[in-house]
Amino acid sequence: MPAELAEMIEANLPLVKYIVFQVAVHFPRHVDRDELARSGALGLVEAARRYDEDRGVPFERFAAQRIRGAILDSVRAADWAPRSVRSLARKLENTEQCLATDLGRVPNKEEMAEALGMSQSELNRLQDRLYRSVVIALEHETSDEVEKDLTLVDVLVDEQSPEPSNELESRELHGYLRDAVALLPERHRLVVVGYFLEGHTSQDLADFLGVTESRVSQLRSEALLMLQEGIEAQYVADTPDPSEVTGRVARRKAVYAKGIAEASVFADRMEEINLIESDAPALAGRSF
């Protein structure tokens, strides 16, 4: 390679990094940025070889087009999913972001399906197509803050052969969850069981409880927050005793957390636990 050509390439390497930064924001996180940079560098080399100064086009502008084209070509070559799937993925992502902005939380499947004008089964099939279109190499590095240089093959879990510690932790968590749901106030419990375990709609629950849909949504949000805080309290070393807590809200949280802790013993939670869906009628207390 002539020295002049090599000097031109080396001087414009920062241009590759700049263009990678520009285009990378449009790609999923699993797309390797280093691979994009390598493809861009090859585009820069090609641009340097093909550049004709007599055409009056600045090299930087000419090279930028070649670099960007090389990057896009490499991504298309590695992506086996058709454009229709990618278009659906963008539509799904945009809809989810708009709903999250309006609702102030992550939308559920019912809300997503309604916004997209499709049934929940159609939404499930769409999401299945999108999930199958994502291909990640097992050598892809994760962003673990504790252990560095971990790849997917190091952290993937074999669900058919779980680690004993993970199995025990899962059983304990399910035990806490079952107790926490059972200890919710009646209306909150009915909403959680009816919505998440029995598949009733917000309108069904509103009609059953004699309230508005917005009230059902409020009860659901309150119940989820209670479950989260109540279960998290089981993993905190020093949980406050309700008798030592001041303030009505704080005392109510402490009483609820203590109730979960005392609802069952460790040995009971370690027993084989069936899917919580099978306990739905008992948890609900009354049926729809």
Q: What is the CATH number of the domain that holds 107?
A: 1.20.140.160
Domain boundary (22, 57, 78) is at 78
Within this chain, do residues 105 and 73 fall inside the same structural domain, yes or no?
Answer: no
134 exposed, middle or buried (CB, 10 Å; 0-12, 13-18, 19+)?
Answer: exposed
Average model confidence (pLDDT) across the chain: 78
Task: Kindly report the length of the chain.
Answer: 288
More confident residue, 286 or 192: 192
Question: Based on the domain organization, do 42 and 21 belong to the same domain?
Answer: yes
Q: How many domains does the chain have?
A: 3
- pLDDT exceeds 60 at position 276: no
- Listed residues 155, 174, 195: the one ending a domain: 155
Q: Among residues 254, 256, 249, 184, which one has the least CA distance to residue 220?
A: 184
CA distance 83 to 77: 12
End-to-end CA distance of the chain: 79
Shared domain for 213 and 265, answered yes or no, is: yes
Task: Verify that 171 and 278 share a domain, yes or no.
Answer: yes
Domain that holds residue 48: 3-78
More confident residue, 264 or 82: 264
Structure tokens at 7: 């000097």
As a whole number of angstroms, the distance between CA 77 and CA 243 comes to: 65
Q: How confident is the model at residue 116 (pLDDT cuts 50, 70, 90)?
A: confident
Identify whether residues 42 and 105 lie together within a single domain. no
Same domain, 209 and 262: yes
Q: Are 216 and 209 in contact (CB under 8 A)?
A: yes
With 0-12 / 13-18 / 19 or more C-beta atoms within 10 angstroms meaning exposed / middle / buried, residue 215 is middle
- Same structural domain, 131 and 187: no
pLDDT per position as a tens digit, 21-44:
887 776 666 667 788 888 889 988
Judgement on whether residues 173 and 135 belong to the same structural domain of the protein: no
- Rounded distance, CA 233 to CA 169, Å? 15
73 and 99 inside one domain: no
What's the CATH code of the domain at 234? 1.20.140
Residues 188 and 138 in one domain: no
Contact 273, 190 (CB under 8 A): no
Amino acid at site 133? S
Q: What is the CATH number of the domain that holds 52?
A: 1.10.1740.10
pLDDT band at 139 (very low <50, low <70, confident <90, very high): very low
Stretch among 36-40, 86-90, 105-109, 138-142 having the lowest mean pLDDT: 138-142
Q: Are residues 173 and 265 in the same domain?
A: yes
Same domain, 93 and 70: no
The DSSP output letter for 141 is: B
Domain ends where: 25, 53, 78? 78
